Structure formats: C-alpha cells, structure tokens
Amino acid sequence: MNPEQLLTAPPTEPDGTATDRVFDAIYRAVLEHRLAPGEWLREAEMATEFKVSRTVVRQALQRLAQDQVIELRHNRGARVPLPSLEDAVHVFEARRIVECEVARRLGGRLTPEQLAELRAVAQAEQAADQRGDRAEAIRMSGEFHHALTRMHGNPVFGRLLNGLLPTTSLLMARFKVDGGQVCVAHRHVDLIDALLRGSAPAAAEMRKHLAELERSLVDTPVRGRRLRDAFAAYRDTPQPEPELP
C-alpha cells in the first residue's frame, strides 16, 4: 500500500459527505499540530474556510466531540482540548494496555505484506522528517500505530486508538520539549525489528517506545496560531460546491 494513500482519521462514509470532509480536516489538523491546544473553533469562520454551511460544521463538531477530539462548551462553542500532565498519565496507561497487547499478538506473526506496509510507513515518516515536513512526519507516525492496530483486527482497539492519538498529539504540542514530532522515526524501525523477533520482544519494545514518549513531556507554554493557517492545506485542493443551509 502506498503510504501517501493512508489516512490517520477514523473511516468515514464512502460517498465523502461535506460533514465527513470537515470532520477529517479537523481531526488531521489536531493530530498534525496545526491546531493548538485550547484553540477555539468558531462555526462561522470554519464555514467560510470550508465553504459549507454552519449546519455542516456543527454536525462535524458534534461527531468530533463524541470521539473526544474536541470539546463543546455550553454557550461558548467548540475548542481544541487543553490536556494536562495528569491527563498524560491516563492516556499513556490506556495506550500501553492497548498497544502492548497489539504488539504481543502480532509479534512473530506478521505477513510479508504487512511487514512491507509497516516499512513503507516508517520510511515515509523518516523521509518527511529529513526534509523538515513536520506535519507529514506526525501524520505518518500516527499511521504507523493505526496500521498495527488495524493488523491486530480488533475494531474496539482501533476505536480506542482513534481517540487516544489526537490527545497524545495535543500533549506533545503542549508539553514536549521544543514541540518535536510525536514519535521518533527510528523507534518505529526498532519496533519492526522487535515484531520480527516474537511476542515478548515486540511487547517490550512497544512499552519502551511509549515510556520514552511519556518521559519527553515537560511543562512548556502553549503556542497558538491563526485558525485560517491550520486549514491552509485544505484550501489548496479543489472543493465541492457549497451546501445550502
């Protein structure tokens, strides 16, 4: 599978409705650090950016809130969550439960096709990192973890990871030293090697990888950006005709 065709957002409807497109764009903007922790998402401004009705934006925000990617505040609107270091403890505890089990189950059992897919994603992540494309490196980092969970085959694990990865990304944007990428590309290469060695090495390497991420968090100031900058990539691609309210 070509890594450029992979998505980090949860699967949406095949027909690609306007709500799906807004949902996917916001999900990816959170995951790729293009939306800052605590940033407010104004319906009118997003309707203009996406060239859709405010009803479409509202529907996408409601879905994102259900997945805990954003927060809906009564009488105030929607905002990107502002996770704390205490939240990090809970998030990484959950990720260890899910992803160490995924690695344990897959260790020594991956098919040649699955190994090729993981290597392609890791290589794409490294290439993006080397050329300074931080958003793409973050996207491929998330896709690596998504791919492992997808290969495990438990859809419940997949849904859990869909909710945990955006929060992880926000924690990294807020607390990681110098705001570096969520994962270090060479660690994913190490994970592939461990997966080849068997269940125990794979689970141990995944635990080490997640522990390294958690230890990288320190208290640093939140850095914001303009909302329109977060969706610049969306505006660069042709969009369908606006929907009527």
Q: Percent of the chain having pLDDT more than 70?
A: 79
Predicted local distance difference test score (pLDDT) of residue 244: 41
In a domain, 240, yes or no: no
User: Does 146 share its domain with 162?
Assistant: yes
User: Does 109 share its domain with 196?
Assistant: yes
Predicted local distance difference test score (pLDDT) of residue 203: 97
pLDDT for 208 beyond 60: yes
CATH number at residue 106: 1.20.120.530
pLDDT for 65 beyond 90: yes
In a domain, 242, yes or no: no
User: Does 201 share its domain with 105?
Assistant: yes
pLDDT for 117 beyond 80: yes
Predicted local distance difference test score (pLDDT) of residue 135: 85
User: Does 229 share its domain with 170?
Assistant: no
User: Which pTM value belongs to this model?
Assistant: 0.77
Q: Percent of the chain having pLDDT more than 90?
A: 63
User: Does 58 share its domain with 33?
Assistant: yes
User: Does 97 share its domain with 127?
Assistant: yes
Predicted local distance difference test score (pLDDT) of residue 9: 53
User: Does 129 share its domain with 69?
Assistant: no
pLDDT for 210 beyond 70: yes
What does residue 52 show for φ and ψ, rounded to 5 degrees? -135, 175
User: Does 92 share its domain with 175?
Assistant: yes
In a domain, 184, yes or no: yes
What does residue 78 show for φ and ψ, rounded to 5 degrees? -110, 145
User: Does 142 share its domain with 43?
Assistant: no
Beta bridge partners of 176: 217
pLDDT tens-digit readout, 7-61: 445 544 444 599 999 999 999 999 888 898 999 999 999 999 999 999 999 999 9
Average pLDDT, the chain: 84
User: What's the domain count of the chain?
Assistant: 2
Amino acid at 144: F
Burial class (CB in 10 A: 0-12, 13-18, 19+), 77: middle
Predicted local distance difference test score (pLDDT) of residue 13: 44
Q: Using alpha carbons, select from 235, 223, 236 the residue that is nearest to residue 80.
A: 223
In a domain, 6, yes or no: no
pLDDT tens-digit readout, 66-100: 988 999 998 888 999 999 999 999 999 999 999 99
pLDDT tens-digit readout, 126-140: 999 889 898 888 889
b/e code 34-63 from CB counts within 10 Å (16+ = b): bbbbebebbbeebbebbebbeebbbbbbeb
Give the domain extent around 57: 14-82+222-235
Contacts of 152 (CB under 8 A, 6+ apart): 101, 102, 105, 106
CATH number at residue 26: 1.10.10.10
- Across 149-163, average pLDDT: 94
Listing from the earlier edge strand, what are the strands of the sheet with 71-73?
40-41, 77-79, 71-73
User: Does 29 share its domain with 106?
Assistant: no
pLDDT for 5 beyond 50: no
In a domain, 191, yes or no: yes
Beta bridge partners of 71: 79
